[in-house]
């Protein structure tokens, strides 16, 4: 006899993607549980990024990242307007040097193929738009912006918590499929083990998503394991506050990173980063290496006028989970209902790195409005 499920859907992970899925689930009549190992929502990758609203310019047009970033860009601006969340649709300037002209031309060609609107700026036009930058030739993308990601997540949580049950400080230590029910054993902060039966699982556990998927599916999980990359940020001194009106990026890098760029928050506080450092294992150190200051300065001084070494102060870091299917030059999202792999009513979301924040509502929409209706709930 099958065990009766206590919940229709259990979401593992309460980062920005889990919260977005919860937001869409709250509009259904399903019984929903969200569990997270931290003591609150959005405590790991979701709170350790640039807070940039991307426009898909760095992602191949046929990629899931591009599709969800494009849709997410539209949805996140609308959500912020409706809920009075701070954002600034400031646009993004991509700077370049004369010796990068070939890379510059190939990048603009890729934008044309994607149908993305942009302007090419001369050095004089670039300086007029942002007087503190150095650029021989620039690209301006209007659809990019910045957001208060913490307020954004707080709104998602408040809206969904009226309809969904949240349990924090809970680790899934064992997950079994027993007939048409998934049995989760979760360990609470006090080490107490609790068993929960659910009809379906949505695994969006960020850095732990692959481990959890493997725990459920074992050898039936047919994707490469995640690779982890640490990105650190340095804050610029108070004299740089409110000096920039737009995001400033360098041309795309060949290693799937976006390079060290300029971003800012709602107070005008300015930071540069992140760098791109591969890390092994899963015991992550979020300390910013002070010895990296020279690397950051040498990179940023090429496109920030009058930047001084002492203007930089170590700020914070984050770790990005990356999933490479073919090579290490492009990582992709994995969002899949695992019915064909022998696990119906299981949706895995793995390798959700940048532009995961921008794409979050589009991911929630895809999972809840397209994938869940096909499941037997």
CATH number of the structural domain spanning residue 34 = 3.50.50.60
Are 303 and 234 in a shared domain? yes
pLDDT digits (tens, 9 = 90+) for 323-356: 999 877 899 999 999 999 999 999 999 999 999 9
Are 190 and 271 in a shared domain? no
Are 318 and 231 in a shared domain? yes
- Return averaged pLDDT per consecutive 10 residues of the chain, 377 residues in all: 85 98 97 97 96 95 96 98 98 96 94 95 97 97 98 98 97 94 94 95 98 96 96 98 97 74 96 94 92 96 96 98 88 97 97 98 97 91
Q: Could you list the residue range(s) of the whole structural domain that residue 312 is in? A: 92-142+227-322
Are 306 and 258 in a shared domain? yes
User: Is residue 55 assigned to a domain?
Assistant: no
Q: What is the pLDDT of residue 147?
A: 98
Token pair belonging to 15: 């980062």
CA 203, 357, 259, 336 torsion: positive or negative?
Answer: positive
- Cα separation of 165 and 177, whole Å? 22
| Cβ within 8 Å of residue 144, ≥6 positions away | 52, 53, 54, 55, 57, 89, 90, 91, 92, 247
Q: What is the pLDDT of residue 73?
A: 98
Tally of CB atoms within 10 A around 64: 16
Are 233 and 297 in a shared domain? yes
Q: Where are the beta strands (DSSP E) in 113-246?
A: 119-122, 137-141, 145-147, 165-167, 170-178, 181-188, 193-203, 227-236
Q: What is the pLDDT of residue 255?
A: 65
pLDDT digits (tens, 9 = 90+) for 60-113: 999 999 999 999 999 999 999 999 999 999 999 999 999 999 999 999 999 999
- Cα separation of 18 and 21, whole Å? 5
Domain containing 291 — which CATH number? Answer: 3.30.9.10
User: Is residue 58 assigned to a domain?
Assistant: no
Q: Are 64 and 335 in contact (CB under 8 A)?
A: yes
Token pair belonging to 357: 């924040």
User: Is residue 11 assigned to a domain?
Assistant: yes
Q: How many CA atoms lie within 13 A of 29 on its CB side?
A: 1
Are 193 and 254 in a shared domain? no
Show the CA angle centred on residue 37, arms to residues 32 and 39, nearest 5°.
95
Per the structure, the count of domains in the chain is 2
For 200-214, the DSSP string reads EEEE--GGGHHHHHH
Q: What is the pLDDT of residue 256?
A: 61
User: Is residue 32 assigned to a domain?
Assistant: yes
Q: What is the pLDDT of residue 145?
A: 98
Are 131 and 248 in a shared domain? yes
Are 235 and 218 in a shared domain? no
Are 97 and 157 in a shared domain? no
Q: What is the pLDDT of residue 1?
A: 47
Token pair belonging to 60: 């191949």
Alpha helix locations (H) across 135-254?
A: 149-161, 209-217
Beta bridge partners of 349: 335
Are 137 and 231 in a shared domain? yes
User: Is residue 25 assigned to a domain?
Assistant: yes
Q: What is the pLDDT of residue 83?
A: 98
| Cβ within 8 Å of residue 79, ≥6 positions away | 85, 152, 155, 361
């Amino acid at each position: 006899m099958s065990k009766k499920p206590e919940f229709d859907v259990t979401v593992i992970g309460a980062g920005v993607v889990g919260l977005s899925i919860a937001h869409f689930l709250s509009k259904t009549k399903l019984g929903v549980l969200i569990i997270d190992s931290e003591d609150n929502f959005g405590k790991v990758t979701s709170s350790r990024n640039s807070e940039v609203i991307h426009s898909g310019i760095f992602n191949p047009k046929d990629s899931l990242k591009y599709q969800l970033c494009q849709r997410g860009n539209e949805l996140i601006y609308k959500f912020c307007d409706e809920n009075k969340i701070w954002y600034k649709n400031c646009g993004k300037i991509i700077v370049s040097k004369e010796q990068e002209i070939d890379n510059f031309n190939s990048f603009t060609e890729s934008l044309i193929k994607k149908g993305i609107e942009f302007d090419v700026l001369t050095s004089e036009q670039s300086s007029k738009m942002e007087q503190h930058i150095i650029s021989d030739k620039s690209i301006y993308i209007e659809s990019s912006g910045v957001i208060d990601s913490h307020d954004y997540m707080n709104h998602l949580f408040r809206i969904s918590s009226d309809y969904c049950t949240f349990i924090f400080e809970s680790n899934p230590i064992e997950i079994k499929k027993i007939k048409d029910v998934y049995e989760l054993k979760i360990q609470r902060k006090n080490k107490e083990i609790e068993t929960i039966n659910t009809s379906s699982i949505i695994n969006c556990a960020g850095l732990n998503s692959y481990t959890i998927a493997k725990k459920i599916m074992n050898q039936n999980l047919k994707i490469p394991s995640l690779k982890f990359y640490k990105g650190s940020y340095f804050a610029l001194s108070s004299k740089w506050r409110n000096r920039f009106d737009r995001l400033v990026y360098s041309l795309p890098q060949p290693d799937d990173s976006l390079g060290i760029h300029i971003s800012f928050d709602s107070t005008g506080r300015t930071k540069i980063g992140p760098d791109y450092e591969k890390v092994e294992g899963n015991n992550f150190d979020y300390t910013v290496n002070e010895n990296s200051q020279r690397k950051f300065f040498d990179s940023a001084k090429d496109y920030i006028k009058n930047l001084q070494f002492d203007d930089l102060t170590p700020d914070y870091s984050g770790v990005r989970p990356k999933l490479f299917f073919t090579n290490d030059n492009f990582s992709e999202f994995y969002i899949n209902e695992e019915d064909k792999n022998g696990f119906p009513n299981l949706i895995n979301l793995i390798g959700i790195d940048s532009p995961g924040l921008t794409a979050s509502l589009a991911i929630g929409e895809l999972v809840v409005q397209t994938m869940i209706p096909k499941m037997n709930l």
